[in-house]
A = this chain, B = another copy of it.
Amino acid sequence: MPSATIDSPLVDALRARGQRVTPQRLVIHRLLREQNRHMSADEVLDEVVERLPGVSLPTVYATLELLEQLGLVRRLGPTGGRVLFDSRLDPHHHVVCSQCGRVEDLDAAVETAPALTAARRAGFADARAGLIVTGVCRTCRCPRRSYT
Interface, chain A (partner B; CB < 8 A)? 32-33, 35-36, 38-42, 44, 64, 67-68, 71-80, 82-89, 93-95, 97-98, 103-104, 106-112, 114-120, 122-138, 141
* Shortest distance between the CB of A97 and any CB in chain B (Å): 7
- B124 adjacent to A137 (CB under 8 Å): yes
- B136 adjacent to A126 (CB under 8 Å): yes
Number of copies: 2
- Nearest B residue to A110 via CB reads B115
**In the complex, given contacts A40-B83, A74-B130, what are 17 additional A-B residue pairs having Cβ atoms less than 8 angstroms apart?**
A33-B87, A38-B85, A39-B84, A39-B87, A40-B82, A40-B84, A41-B82, A42-B82, A75-B83, A78-B78, A78-B83, A93-B115, A106-B115, A106-B122, A112-B133, A124-B138, A131-B131
* CB-defined contacts of A76 to chain B, threshold 8 Å: 83-86, 94, 103, 130
A-B contact pairs, 12 of them (CB 8 A): A32-B87, A40-B84, A41-B83, A75-B83, A75-B85, A76-B86, A77-B77, A78-B82, A95-B119, A111-B111, A125-B135, A129-B134
Q: Which are the 8 A-B pairs with shortest beta-carbon distances?
A: A124-B135, A123-B138, A127-B135, A78-B78, A38-B84, A108-B118, A32-B87, A108-B115
- Nearest B residue to A105 via CB reads B38
* CB-defined contacts of A41 to chain B, threshold 8 Å: 82-83, 85
A109 to B79, CA, bound (A): 23
